[in-house]
Amino acid sequence: MKLQLAFLIATTSLPLHAVGDLSKPLEILRAVQKEGQGNADASKAWQQITKTDPANLPEVLKGMNGANPLAENWLRAAVGVIADEASKAKKMPVDALVTFLKDSTNSSGARVVAFDLIQRANAKLAETLTPTLINDVSSELRRHPVAKLIETGDKALAAQHKSDAVLAYRKGLDGARDEDQIKTLAKKLRDLGQTVDLPTHFGFLMSWKLIAPFSNADRSGFETVYPPEKELKFDAAYEGKGKEAKWVDFTSKDEYGKIDFNKPFGMEKSVVGYAAADFVSSEDRPAEIRIGCKNGWKVWLNGELLFARDEYHRGAKLDQYKLPCQLKKGKNTLLVKCCQNEQTEQWTVEWEFQLRVCDATGTAIVASK
Amino acid sequence: MKTSLILAFSLSMASGAFADWLQFRGPNAAAVSTEAQVPAEELKIAWTADLPGRGLSAPIVVGDKVFVTCSSGPGQETLHVFCFNAKDGSKRWERAMRATGRTMSHSKTSVAANTPCSDGERVFALFSSNDLFAFDLDGNLLWLRGLTFDYPNASNSLGMSQSPVVAGSTLVVQSENDAESFAAGFDVATGMNKWKLERPKAANWTSATLLKGVAALQSSKGLLGVDPDTGKTVWNYEDGASTIPSSVVSGDLIYAVSKGITALAPEKGSVTQLWRNEKLNPGTASPLVLGDHLYVVNGAGVLIKASVKNGDEAWKLRLKGPFSGSPVAAGKRIHIVNERGIFQTINPEAPGGKVMQEIELKETVLTTPAISGGAIYVRSDAKLWKLQ
């Protein structure tokens, strides 16, 4: 026990570059898993890493490459401690951080931290780097140049240079991936008489086949396997809740891609509906299906259940749930189950969802014709 | 062994020498300071510290350190834990992590909604994203959990706010929602599960209280008393309870926010109902017990004083509301801040109650104050104040 304590004190009180390389403690942090597994070892390794020389910051950030979100947080917190010391000692390794940032094979999370550290050490340098991030793989890094372009457009507009303003806003919109910035830019462009196609920008699936109503009495419909979960026969009709359930074609007119079951089926309560759509991909590729929905829902891709959420009327937003998936080349079939509950308050009317297909940055994946 | 005993004793003496406010609503979640030193009659702003993000979690105080959490970024993904010097508000340390769970919440609340807690040696910071971090008092990260990473459907699209409590060597955490609802006991030293209980599938924003070593978990179903070491049921009250204001413990009784206020005497295997007053209806604020009286702030911002013996109402006093935070008390004064940032001190012993002082903080405040060392700490989305 005494020996262990002495060892711990010795290893945690020496600067790491004097005790050895970072590979072992980084490996320990990267090994943390669900339900607290690896925490005990990680705590000691974390202390070792925080004592490293600031010159090793890029090495610590590299530890985030391919790490799970828990390990990323261990490392993020360690980077914060090292960076505080680096700031105090004016030893932030800015050049090495810039190199790290520019290498887009590094993890997005780590590159966001690197940019923040550069900004903290040298705001002017960060500003010169900002325009280079407009097409970055990190949507978070894109925010900086998009904000700058909004500012540029506003200044041009104030100086009566409308075409320059349109140019800046359009460039900003092309780069923007976050809803708040997209909304701002879309409004500014429309105010200047420009056309903005938000469904295409986001990649919403606008046309679906819908079927309803099946029963969701006592909210049991969420778990009930209705025929569309077994077969997709668009000419079939089934016994529904109080009426026959048949497939209908539905194309959303909402520019945020809302697929509203109330429109074709009426304001039903305690019901289940399904939506099916094909998405043709030009290649086998990883993707994200992002859904916003305030009803109970399930999503299947090519027959595989991606996620299910049994929550009603607590709110919905764009990209509320991000479901990583793999698209296959050719036709991919999406099936959404959307459950409405029994509540009758005015704020429980919605029976709808919005869904888009994009990459991990949030860039829309365009379906092949 | 001897060394660790001496160390433990020194630590307890060290933290005991200062005035600790270790969790949501302070000692035993009773919202009443147990210190002899009480805040001055005329309070002033002693210092203000800036915060880089939003939050309605309450500050906590461990010795001479004030801890507070906040969340920043476009989607509130950055989770901050701050430690300030109680004396002058200077920053001792800050740690920033990233949410691994969902950060969506109603616009009124935020991701830093759950109040952190401490066992005097460690600080446990839970966020609405279900991210949980344990630090020592010097900011060393001891362990972390991503509870939505572990249990993917555990979230509430309106946001969550249940504050954890420490019971012995267990951190009791609730993540109660419509989809994957649970309570769990984690080892304070490692963050590993000691137990995990399925809870009613319904959104719940109340926090646990401790009564005679038993953790009382409140939900729409009622109050469940569990052994914090094992999670096993000790007693169960099943007559329903609120999902917003939390119940309060005083002595051997729990004043449950259930059909108004219901006074309960739980014992192993049974719960005796002593009285119920359905007119004592807390709004968002949780009740408190000061001396022989229970105080409830209703949804209209009216403070109601009632007897702890039978629930009989003594008086009503209209305060400047509305309130999201709960009242706290020290000595013979009750303190509360309304949503418009008006800090109010009330003398509950004056006939009909009397507001003694108001301080305009000039910011939206949705939180509950903390009391320590004769000072009161309040936070907003942008600031932490010390009133003294």
Question: Is B157–A73 a contact, with Cβ atoms under 8 angstroms apart?
Answer: no
Give tens-digit pLDDT for A154-207: 999 999 999 999 999 999 999 999 999 999 999 999 999 999 999 999 999 999
Question: Is B150–A34 a contact, with Cβ atoms under 8 angstroms apart?
Answer: yes
Question: Is A180–B74 a contact, with Cβ atoms under 8 angstroms apart?
Answer: yes
Nearest CA in chain A to B143: A39
Q: Does A324 touch chain B (CB under 8 A)?
A: no
pLDDT recorded at residue B18 = 52
A341: chain B residues, CB-CB within 8 Å: none
pLDDT recorded at residue B225 = 98
- Comparing CB atoms, the residue among A37, A43, A178 nearest residue B141 is A43
Co-location of A305 and A268 in the same domain: yes
Residues of chain B where predicted confidence (pLDDT) is lower than 70 = 1-18
pLDDT recorded at residue A11 = 42
Nearest by Cα to B32 from B369, B259, B308, B362: B369
Q: How many domains does chain A have?
A: 3
Co-location of A187 and A298 in the same domain: no
Interval A101-105 mean pLDDT? 97
Q: Which domain holds residue A245?
A: 202-358
A178: chain B residues, CB-CB within 8 Å: 74
| Cα separation values, B180 from A17, A218, B289, Å | 45, 18, 33
- Comparing CB atoms, the residue among B98, B133, B193 nearest residue A36 is B193
Percentage of chain A exceeding pLDDT 70: 95
Residue A113 makes CB contacts below 8 A (sequence gap 6+) with A61, A64, A76, A79
Question: How far A316 CA lies from chain B's nearest CA (Å)?
Answer: 7
pLDDT recorded at residue A20 = 55
Co-location of A147 and A110 in the same domain: no
Which two three-digit tokens encode residue A184? 């701002």
B96: chain A residues, CB-CB within 8 Å: 76-77, 80
Percentage of chain A exceeding pLDDT 90: 94
The distance from CA B297 to its chain's CA centroid, rounded to whole angstroms, is: 16
Co-location of A268 and A315 in the same domain: yes
**B349 with B334: CB under 8 angstroms?**
no
What phi and psi values does residue A149 have, to the nearest 5 degrees? -70, -35
Domain assignment present for A14: yes
Co-location of A299 and A210 in the same domain: yes
pLDDT recorded at residue A6 = 44
**What is the ipTM for the molecules in this complex?**
0.93
Which two three-digit tokens encode residue A26? 């980084």
Name the pLDDT band for A21 (thresholds 50, 70, 90). Answer: confident
Residue B15 makes CB contacts below 8 A (sequence gap 6+) with B62, B63, B120
B204: chain A residues, CB-CB within 8 Å: none
Domain assignment present for A367: no
Instruction: Sketch the domain layout of chain B as residue ranges.
Output: 2-11+18-387
- Tell me which of A156, A177, A196 is where a domain ends: A196
A70: chain B residues, CB-CB within 8 Å: 100, 144-146, 149
Nearest CA in chain A to B157: A314
Co-location of A216 and A340 in the same domain: yes
CATH of the domain at A252: 2.60.120.260
Interval A276-293 mean pLDDT? 98
Residue A18 in this model has a pLDDT that exceeds 80: no
Residue A23 in this model has a pLDDT that exceeds 90: yes
Which two three-digit tokens encode residue B202? 């319904």
Map tokens 């419909």 to a residue: A221
- Mean per-residue pLDDT of chain B: 95
> Rounded to the nearest 5 degrees, what angle is found at the Cα of A312, between the Cα atoms of A308 and A315?
100
Co-location of A80 and A10 in the same domain: yes
- Comparing CB atoms, the residue among A308, A314, A320 nearest residue B156 is A314
Query: Rg of the Cα trace of chain A?
Result: 26
Map tokens 């005990």 to a residue: A40
Co-location of A158 and A275 in the same domain: no
State the best of A35, A223, A309 to mutate against chain B, taking most chain B CBs within 10 Å: A35
Interval A11-38 mean pLDDT? 78
Which two three-digit tokens encode residue B288? 């408190």
Nearest CA in chain B to A323: B152
- Tell me which of A178, A196, A214 is where a domain ends: A196
Map tokens 């939003």 to a residue: B54
Co-location of A92 and A163 in the same domain: no
Co-location of A16 and A129 in the same domain: yes
Give the separation between CA B158 and CA A316, rounded to whole angstroms.
Answer: 9
> Which residues are registered as beta bridge partners of B337?
B343
Q: Does A76 touch chain B (CB under 8 A)?
A: yes
Question: Is B157–A72 a contact, with Cβ atoms under 8 angstroms apart?
Answer: no
pLDDT recorded at residue A369 = 77
Question: Is A320–B140 a contact, with Cβ atoms under 8 angstroms apart?
Answer: no
Domain assignment present for A363: no
pLDDT recorded at residue B19 = 72
Residue A127 in this model has a pLDDT that exceeds 90: yes
Superfamily of domain B2-11+18-387: YVTN repeat-like/Quinoprotein amine dehydrogenase (2.130.10.10)
Give the separation between CA A57 and CA B97, rounded to whole angstroms.
Answer: 16
- Please tell me the pTM assigned to this model: 0.94
pLDDT recorded at residue B6 = 45
What percent of chain B is helix, strand and coil (3-state, nearest 5)? 5, 45, 50
- Tell me which of A162, A196, A230 is where a domain ends: A196
Domain assignment present for A304: yes
Co-location of A281 and A207 in the same domain: yes
Which two three-digit tokens encode residue B218? 């409140």
What phi and psi values does residue B276 have, to the nearest 5 degrees? -145, 135
Interval A286-315 mean pLDDT? 98
Give the separation between CA A156 and CA A160, rounded to whole angstroms.
Answer: 6
Interval A106-115 mean pLDDT? 97
Co-location of A344 and A324 in the same domain: yes
Interval A127-148 mean pLDDT? 98
State the best of A2, A28, A43 to mutate against chain B, taking most chain B CBs within 10 Å: A43
Question: Is B190–A42 a contact, with Cβ atoms under 8 angstroms apart?
Answer: no
**B127 with B71: CB under 8 angstroms?**
yes
